[in-house]
Amino acid sequence: MKRTRLQARVLLLAIGVILATSLLDLASTAYVQVRDAEKRMADQARSIGSALVPSLQNDLVVGDLATAQQTLDRVQRHAAFKRLDLLDAASDKVLLAGRQAEDAAGENGVPDWFAGLIDIRPPPLSIPIQAGGVQYGVLLVEPSPALLERDLWRHLWLAALLSLITLAVVLPLFILTLRGGLKPLRELAASARKFGAGDYSRRAPDSTVREIAQTARAFNLMADNIQTLLGQLRASNATNRRLAVIVEQSGEIILTLNNAGIITSWNDGARRTLGYTAEEAIERNIAFLLPEPSEDETGLLARPFPDARHGERHETRFRTRDGRIRDIVLGLAPLMGEDGQRIGLICIGRDFTERKRIQDEIRRINAELEQRVQERTAELEAANQELEAFSYTVSHDLRAPLRAMNGFSKLVEEDAGDALSEQSRHMLRRIHAASVKMEHLIEELLKLARLGRQELQRDDANLSRIAEEIHADLAETQPERRISWHIEPGLTARADRVLIKSALDNLLRNAWKFTSKREDAEISFTSSKQGNETVYCVRDNGAGFNPACADKLFLPFQRLHKAEQFEGTGIGLATVHRIVKRHGGRIWAEGAVDEGAAFWFTLP
C-alpha cells in the first residue's frame, strides 16, 4: 500500500478544492452571466427595437425609407446586433438592413472553442411596425453574442489569474497553518512509536486542536490501561511462577489429565513418589500407573464431575517405576477451560501406604478389642442375670419360710397366748413384726430386681399430673396434715410412665415422710434449665440429711435416720437412682440436717 504524508494529501486536497471551487465559480458565473446576458440582450433588443418603432413608424408612414435606413444604420453602427433589418410586412423580404461601421466589424479575439462552449444564441426579435391598424413592416432585431463572448473570455482570464494569485497567497499560509496543526499529531505519533518500543511511561502531549487533543487523551488513557495491565500481568506472572514452584516442589503428587485420561503435567512430587520423570509420564495414559487397570477406574479419572467447584476424594493404587504398589489418596477436581468447559482433571495425591497400614492395624486391634468387650459384656450380663435370678429366687424362696414364721408365730400366740408369759408374748409379737418387715423388705428387693429386667417404654409423660395424683393419694392417707404443696404445672418428659411414676412416688413419699414432724411442711416439684438440659427438683423442708453422707443416699439398704424416727426399707432411693439411670439421666441430692432436702434429676 502506497503511503503518502498527510500534509501532502491535505495540500493536494486544498489545491484541488481551490481549483475546483474557482472552476465551479467561473462556470456558475459564466452560466449566470450568459443567462443574464441573453435576457439583457433580449431586453436590449426589445428596448432598442421599441425605441426605433416610433421613428420607423413616422418614416414608413411618410414613405421615407432613406431616413429609415439612416435610423437603422445609426443603431447598427456599433455592431450591437447581429441583424437589424426592416422586412416587408407582406413578403418578409428585407427592405432595409442596418449596416455596421467598418471598424466595428472584426474579430473579438474569442477562440471558436470558447464560443462553441458557451453557445450564446439569443433569439431574434420581430417587432411589427404598424399604426392605426395598418402594418407598414417588421423590424427584425437579432442580438449579437460577440460582445458578450468577448467579455466572458476576458472574465475567464481574469478569474484564472485571480485563482493563481489566490493560490500563491493562500497556499503558503495554508502550509504554515497545516504544519502547525499537524505538529501535535506528529508528537502523538512519536509518543505512540516510543510507547510501542517499550517506553510505557511515554504519554502524548496535549494539543489546542480539539480532535487531536481528544485523540491524545484517548491514547494516554489506553497507555494508562496498558501500563496497569502490564503491572498486573507481571504480578500475575510472579504469582504463577511462585505457584509453579510450589506445585513443582510440593511433596504431593500433582498431575493433570486431559479428558482422554492422558497425563498433561507431572510435578516433582509425583517423580519422587512414583519414580517416573515428567518426560516419562507426560503424554501417557493414566492407566499405565494402575496395577490392574480397569475401565471403571480409568473412566472415573476421565468422567465429568457434577460439581466443578469441589473435587472428589478417590483412593487408588499406583505402581511405581521400580514395581512397588503404593496406596494413593487422590483429590480430583475438574480442570476448566476459559469457556467454562471441562478440559481435563487435576489430581493431587499423597502416598498413604504407611498410614493405611497403621490404620489397618488399628482397625484390626479395635476389632479385637471390641470382640473382647462384647465377650466380657456378655459374660457380665450373664453374671448379672444369674445374680438377679439368684436374688429373685432367694427373695422368692425366702418368702415361704417368712410366711411360715409369720403364720406359726400368730398361731402360737392365738393358741398358747394365755399360757405364755407377757415376755414370751412380747417376743412372739416381735417375731411376727420382724417377719412382716422382712417380707416387705423382700418385696422391695424384688421390685428393684425387676427394674433391671424390665424394658423401657418411652412415651410423653405428664410429670405434673403424676405428681398431683401422688399428692392426692398421700393427702387421703393423712387428711389432718397441713402441707404446702407446690407442683409446677406442665412438666413433661419423654419417659417410661410406669417407672417415672415409681420414681416420683418414692421421692414425694420420702418428702411426705420426712416432713411429718413439721408444722409448716412444704413440698414442691419444679424444674429449671441448666444449659440445654431440663433439671427436675423435688424439695422439702423436712428432716434433711447430713451432706457428708450424701454419696450413700442412693445405695440399697442405706438409711441415714433411725427406724424409730422414720420407718423405711432403704430401697426407695436406690430404686429412684436405677430408674433415672435407665433413662440415661442423672440424679443428685442436696440437703442439711433439719433444713430439708432437694433431689435433682434429669431425663434426657
Partner 1 sequence: MAPGFAVSRKKPKIMVLLALLFLANLAGAADGKPLVFGVLNQQSPALTAERWNPILHYLGVATGLTFQLRMGRTVQETDAMMGRGEFDLVYTNHNFQREFDGAYKVIARWSGEPIRCVIAVPADSPLRALQSLQGRRVAFPSREAFVGYAVPKVALSSAGVRVEEVFSGNQEGALAQLKARQVEAAAVNSRFLQQYAEREGLQYRDLYVSEPFLELPVIAHSRLPRDKVEAIRRALLGMRHDEKAGDLLLKLKFSGFEAADDRQYDNVRRTYRLIGE
Q: Which residues bind partner 1 (CB under 8 A)?
A: 54, 57-59, 61-64, 67, 131-134
Quote the least distance from Cβ 132 to partner 1, whole Å: 3
Measured in degrees and rounded to the nearest 5, phi and psi for residue 91 equal -105, -5
- Angle formed at CA 579 by CA 575 and CA 583, multiple of 5 degrees: 165
Nearest C-alpha neighbor of 260 from the set 282, 285, 281, 278: 285
Measured from the CB atom, is 133 or 198 closer to partner 1? 133
Quote the least distance from Cβ 139 to partner 1, whole Å: 14
Quote the least distance from Cβ 89 to partner 1, whole Å: 13
Cα separations in angstroms, 1 against 4, 7, 28, 140, 446: 10, 18, 38, 67, 117
Measured from the CB atom, is 130 or 166 closer to partner 1? 130
Measured from the CB atom, is 95 or 504 closer to partner 1? 95
Quote the least distance from Cβ 61 to partner 1, whole Å: 4
Measured from the CB atom, is 48 or 129 closer to partner 1? 129
Quote the least distance from Cβ 147 to partner 1, whole Å: 31
CB-side neighbour CA atoms (13 Å) of 464: 9
Measured from the CB atom, is 133 or 337 closer to partner 1? 133
Cα separations in angstroms, 431 against 413, 419, 420: 11, 18, 15
- Where on the phi/psi map is residue 198: left (φ > 0), alpha (ψ -120 to 50), or beta? left
What whole-number distance in Å separates Cα of residue 264 and Cα of residue 285? 9
What whole-number distance in Å separates Cα of residue 431 and Cα of residue 439? 12
Task: Assess contact for 600 and 537: CB atoms under 8 A.
Answer: yes
What whole-number distance in Å separates Cα of residue 572 and Cα of residue 444? 8
Quote the least distance from Cβ 69 to partner 1, whole Å: 15
CB-based burial label for 326 (10 Å; 0-12, 13-18, 19+): buried
Measured from the CB atom, is 67 or 526 closer to partner 1? 67
Handedness of CA 240, 245, 251, 256 (dihedral sign): positive
Quote the least distance from Cβ 55 to partner 1, whole Å: 9
Quote the least distance from Cβ 57 to partner 1, whole Å: 4
What secondary structure, in 3-state letters, does 479-492 show? CCCCEEEEECCCCE
Q: What secondary structure letter does DSSP report for 595?
A: S
Q: DSSP letter string over 397-421?
A: HHHHHHHHHHHHHHHHHHHHTTTS-
Measured from the CB atom, is 61 or 433 closer to partner 1? 61
Nearest C-alpha neighbor of 271 from the set 299, 292, 250: 250
With DSSP H G I counted as helix, E B as strand and the rest as coil, what are the percentages for the chain, rounded to 5? 55, 20, 25
Measured from the CB atom, is 49 or 261 closer to partner 1? 49
Quote the least distance from Cβ 63 to partner 1, whole Å: 7
Quote the least distance from Cβ 33 to partner 1, whole Å: 37
Measured from the CB atom, is 129 or 270 closer to partner 1? 129
Task: Assess contact for 461 and 493: CB atoms under 8 A.
Answer: yes
Cell numbers standing for residue 475: 393427702
Measured from the CB atom, is 54 or 584 closer to partner 1? 54
Cell numbers standing for residue 416: 398358747
Task: Assess contact for 524 and 536: CB atoms under 8 A.
Answer: no
Measured from the CB atom, is 134 or 260 closer to partner 1? 134
Quote the least distance from Cβ 53 to partner 1, whole Å: 8
Cell numbers standing for residue 481: 396434715
Give the number of residues written for the chain. Answer: 604
Measured from the CB atom, is 62 or 230 closer to partner 1? 62
Quote the least distance from Cβ 64 to partner 1, whole Å: 6
